[in-house]
Chains A and B, each alone.
Chain A
Amino acid sequence: MSASLKELLAGVVVLVSKEAVQHQGISLSMEGLVNLQLSSKSVGVFEAFYNSVKPIQLISSNIEVAKAGKIPGGKTEIPFEFPLQTKGNKVLYETYHGVFVNIQYTLRCDVKRSLLAKDLSRTCEFMVHSQPQKAKVLPTPVDFSITPDTLQNIRERNLLPKFLIRGHLDATNCVISQPLTGEVVVENSQVPIKSIELQLVRVETCGCAEGYARDATEIQNIQIAEGDVCHSLSIPIYMVFPRLFTCPTLETTNFKVEFEVNIVIVLHDDHLITENFPLKLCRI
Chain B
Amino acid sequence: MAAVQWHSRGRRYEAELQRCRLEATPVDFGDYHPLKPITVTDTKSRRGARKGSTSSSSSSSSSAAPDPLSSMLDGTDPLSMFAAASAGETPGLPHSASAGDLGRKRREREEEAVGSDFEPWSAKRGEILARFTTTEKLSINLFMGSDKGKAPSPGSSAVSEKVRTRLEELDDLEEGSQRELLNLSQQDYANRIEELNQSLKEAWASDQKVKALKIVIQCSKLLSDTSVIQFYPSKFVLITDILDTFGRLVYERIWTMCSDPRPLPESFSADDVNDTAKETCLNWFFKIASIRELIPRLYVEAAILKCNRFLNKSGIQETLPRLTAMIRGIGDPLVAAYARAYLCRVGMEVAPHLKDSLNRNFFDLLGTFRQIQGDSVQNQLVLQRVEIPEYLTLYSPAINWILQCIAYRAPEPLLTEMMERCKKLGNNALLLNSVMWAFRAEFVAARATDFITMIKDCDEAGFPKHLLFGSLGRSLACADPPEAERLPILNEAWKVITKVRSPQDYINCAEIWVEFTCRHFTKREVNTVLADIIKHMTPDRAFEDAYPQLQSVIRKILTYFHDFSVLFSMERFLPFLDMFQKDSVRVEVCRSIMEVFIKHQLEPTRDPVILNAMLHICKTMHDSVNALTLEDEKRSLALLINGFIRMVSFGRDFEQQLSFCVEARATFCNLEPVLVQLIHTVNQLAMETRRVMRGSHSRKTAAFVRACAAYSFITIPSLSSIFCRLSLYLLSGQVALANQCLSQADAFLKAAVSLLPEVPRSISVEGKLRPSEGFLLDFISNFLSTLLVVPDHPEHGVLYLVRGLLNMVQDYTWEDNGDAKLRVYINALPLLAAMSQEAYLYCIPRVDSNETLYGGDPKFLSEINKLCETLIGQVLDHLKALGRDESVRRQAALAFSLFGCLLAHGDLRNNKLNQLAVNLWNLSHKHGHCDTRASVRTLEFMKHQAQQPDMAHLSDTVQRLALQSRT
Q: How distant is A214 from chain B, measured CB to nearest CB, in Å?
A: 11
Asked if A221 CB lies within 8 Å of chain B CBs, one says: yes
A220 to B147, CA, bound (A): 11
Q: A39-B158, A235-B329, A236-B329 are in contact. Are A225 and B153 (CB under 8 A)?
A: no
Q: How distant is A269 from chain B, measured CB to nearest CB, in Å?
A: 14
Q: Which of A81-105 contact B (CB under 8 A)?
A: 99-100
B155: chain A residues within 8 A (beta carbon): 201, 215-218
Number of A residues contacting the other chain (C-beta, 8 Å)?
33
Asked if B26 CB lies within 8 Å of chain A CBs, one says: no
B371: chain A residues within 8 A (beta carbon): 228, 230
A39 to B160, CA, bound (A): 10
Q: How distant is B760 from chain A, measured CB to nearest CB, in Å?
A: 81
Q: Which of A206-255 contact B (CB under 8 A)?
A: 215-218, 220-230, 233-236, 238-240, 242-243
Say yes or no: B330 contacts A229, CB within 8 Å: yes
Say yes or no: A217 contacts B161, CB within 8 Å: yes
A79 to B329, CA, bound (A): 53
Asked if A69 CB lies within 8 Å of chain B CBs, one says: no
Q: A218-B151, A226-B224, A226-B293 are in contact. Are A234 and B156 (CB under 8 A)?
A: no
Asked if B367 CB lies within 8 Å of chain A CBs, one says: yes
Asked if B322 CB lies within 8 Å of chain A CBs, one says: yes
Say yes or no: A221 contacts B153, CB within 8 Å: yes
Say yes or no: A228 contacts B328, CB within 8 Å: no
A233: chain B residues within 8 A (beta carbon): 328, 364, 367-368
Question: Looking at the complex, which one of B151, B326, B375 makes contact with A236 (CB distance below 8 Å)?
Answer: B326
B325: chain A residues within 8 A (beta carbon): 235-236
Q: How distant is B483 from chain A, measured CB to nearest CB, in Å?
A: 45
A149 to B331, CA, bound (A): 25
Question: Looking at the complex, which one of B151, B329, B370 makes contact with A224 (CB distance below 8 Å)?
Answer: B329
A215 to B154, CA, bound (A): 11
Which residue from chain A places its CB closest to the CB of B335 in the assembled complex?
A227
A222 to B364, CA, bound (A): 22
* Stretch of B82-90, B260-268, B284-292, B921-929 with 4 or more beta carbons under 8 angstroms from chain A: B284-292
A226 to B293, CA, bound (A): 8
Say yes or no: A226 contacts B158, CB within 8 Å: no
Question: Looking at the complex, which one of A100, A193, A217, A228 makes contact with B156 (CB distance below 8 Å)?
Answer: A217
A41: chain B residues within 8 A (beta carbon): 157
A215: chain B residues within 8 A (beta carbon): 155, 158
Asked if A11 CB lies within 8 Å of chain B CBs, one says: no
Asked if A34 CB lies within 8 Å of chain B CBs, one says: no
Asked if A52 CB lies within 8 Å of chain B CBs, one says: no
Asked if B27 CB lies within 8 Å of chain A CBs, one says: no
Say yes or no: B329 contacts A229, CB within 8 Å: yes
Say yes or no: B290 contacts A228, CB within 8 Å: no
Say yes or no: A227 contacts B151, CB within 8 Å: no
B328: chain A residues within 8 A (beta carbon): 225, 229-230, 233-236
Q: How distant is B344 from chain A, measured CB to nearest CB, in Å?
A: 18
Question: Looking at the complex, which one of A192, A239, A242 makes contact with B375 (CB distance below 8 Å)?
Answer: A192
A222: chain B residues within 8 A (beta carbon): 290, 292, 297
Q: How distant is B515 from chain A, measured CB to nearest CB, in Å?
A: 40
Q: How many A-B residue pairs have CB under 8 A?
A: 101
Q: Which of B319-346 contact A (CB under 8 A)?
A: 322, 325-326, 328-333, 335
Q: A99-B161, A230-B368, A233-B328 are in contact. Are A221 and B295 (CB under 8 A)?
A: no
Q: Which of B522-566 contact A (CB under 8 A)?
A: none
A235: chain B residues within 8 A (beta carbon): 325, 328-329
A39 to B371, CA, bound (A): 47
A138 to B694, CA, bound (A): 113
Asked if B40 CB lies within 8 Å of chain A CBs, one says: no
Q: Which of B342-373 contact A (CB under 8 A)?
A: 364, 367-368, 370-371
A39: chain B residues within 8 A (beta carbon): 158
Q: Which of B155, B160, B364 gathers the greatest number of chain A CB atoms within 10 Å?
A: B155
| Per-residue interface assignment for chain A, residues 253 to 268, with 1 indicating a CB less than 8 Å from any chain B CB and 0 otherwise | 0000000000000000
Say yes or no: A225 contacts B294, CB within 8 Å: yes
| Per-residue interface assignment for chain B, residues 140 to 172, with 1 indicating a CB less than 8 Å from any chain A CB and 0 otherwise | 000000000001011111111100000000000
Q: How distant is B226 from chain A, measured CB to nearest CB, in Å?
A: 9
Say yes or no: A227 contacts B330, CB within 8 Å: yes
Q: A99-B158, A217-B158, A218-B153 are in contact. Are A223 and B330 (CB under 8 A)?
A: no
Say yes or no: A240 contacts B286, CB within 8 Å: yes
Q: How distant is B364 from chain A, measured CB to nearest CB, in Å?
A: 8
Asked if B376 CB lies within 8 Å of chain A CBs, one says: yes
Which residue from chain A places its CB closest to the CB of B295 in the assembled complex?
A226
Q: How distant is B375 from chain A, measured CB to nearest CB, in Å?
A: 7
Which residue from chain A places its CB closest to the CB of B224 in the assembled complex?
A226
Q: How distant is B222 from chain A, measured CB to nearest CB, in Å?
A: 14
Say yes or no: B290 contacts A220, CB within 8 Å: yes
Which residue from chain B places its CB closest to the CB of A266 in the assembled complex?
B152
Say yes or no: A228 contacts B376, CB within 8 Å: yes
Say yes or no: A229 contacts B151, CB within 8 Å: no
Q: A39-B158, A218-B156, A236-B326 are in contact. Are A226 and B286 (CB under 8 A)?
A: no
Say yes or no: B292 contacts A223, CB within 8 Å: yes
Say yes or no: A242 contacts B290, CB within 8 Å: yes
B332: chain A residues within 8 A (beta carbon): 226-228
Q: How distant is A274 from chain B, measured CB to nearest CB, in Å?
A: 8
Say yes or no: A238 contacts B322, CB within 8 Å: yes
Asked if A40 CB lies within 8 Å of chain B CBs, one says: yes
Q: How distant is A202 from chain B, measured CB to nearest CB, in Å?
A: 11
Say yes or no: B330 contacts A226, CB within 8 Å: yes
Asked if A196 CB lies within 8 Å of chain B CBs, one says: yes
Q: A216-B155, A225-B329, A229-B328 are in contact. Are A99 and B160 (CB under 8 A)?
A: yes
Q: How distant is B308 from chain A, measured CB to nearest CB, in Å?
A: 14
Which residue from chain B places its CB closest to the CB of A201 in the assembled complex?
B155
Say yes or no: A242 contacts B286, CB within 8 Å: yes
Say yes or no: A100 contacts B293, CB within 8 Å: no
| Per-residue interface assignment for chain B, residues 223 to 254, with 1 indicating a CB less than 8 Å from any chain A CB and 0 otherwise | 01000000000000000000000000000000
A52 to B911, CA, bound (A): 142
| Per-residue interface assignment for chain A, residues 111 to 136, with 1 indicating a CB less than 8 Å from any chain B CB and 0 otherwise | 00000000000000000000000000
Say yes or no: A243 contacts B151, CB within 8 Å: no
Asked if B767 CB lies within 8 Å of chain A CBs, one says: no
Asked if B92 CB lies within 8 Å of chain A CBs, one says: no
A233 to B159, CA, bound (A): 41
A225 to B153, CA, bound (A): 18
A218: chain B residues within 8 A (beta carbon): 151, 153-156
Say yes or no: B331 contacts A243, CB within 8 Å: no
Q: How distant is A118 from chain B, measured CB to nearest CB, in Å?
A: 30
Q: How distant is A127 from chain B, measured CB to nearest CB, in Å?
A: 12
Q: Which of A99, A100, A215, A227 gathers the greatest number of chain B CB atoms within 10 Å?
A: A227
Asked if B413 CB lies within 8 Å of chain A CBs, one says: no
A193 to B160, CA, bound (A): 33
Q: A99-B161, A233-B368 are in contact. Are A227 and B376 (CB under 8 A)?
A: yes
Q: Which of B155-209 contact A (CB under 8 A)?
A: 155-161
A99 to B295, CA, bound (A): 29
A236 to B286, CA, bound (A): 18
Asked if B374 CB lies within 8 Å of chain A CBs, one says: yes
A274 to B391, CA, bound (A): 35
A225: chain B residues within 8 A (beta carbon): 294, 328-331
Which residue from chain A places its CB closest to the CB of B370 in the assembled complex?
A230
Q: A226-B295, A228-B376, A229-B328 are in contact. Are A240 and B151 (CB under 8 A)?
A: no
A172 to B294, CA, bound (A): 23
A16 to B669, CA, bound (A): 93
Q: Which 7 A-B pairs have the closest CB atoms?
A: A227-B331, A225-B329, A240-B289, A228-B376, A218-B153, A228-B331, A236-B325
* 8 chain-A/chain-B pairs, Cβ below 8 angstroms: A192-B376, A193-B331, A224-B294, A227-B335, A228-B371, A229-B330, A230-B370, A235-B325
User: Which B positions have Cβ atoms within 8 angstroms of A?
Assistant: 151, 153-161, 224, 286, 289-290, 292-295, 297, 322, 325-326, 328-333, 335, 364, 367-368, 370-371, 374-376
Known: A223-B329, A228-B374, A242-B286. 8 other contacts (CB 8 A): A39-B158, A217-B158, A223-B293, A225-B328, A226-B224, A228-B371, A229-B329, A230-B333
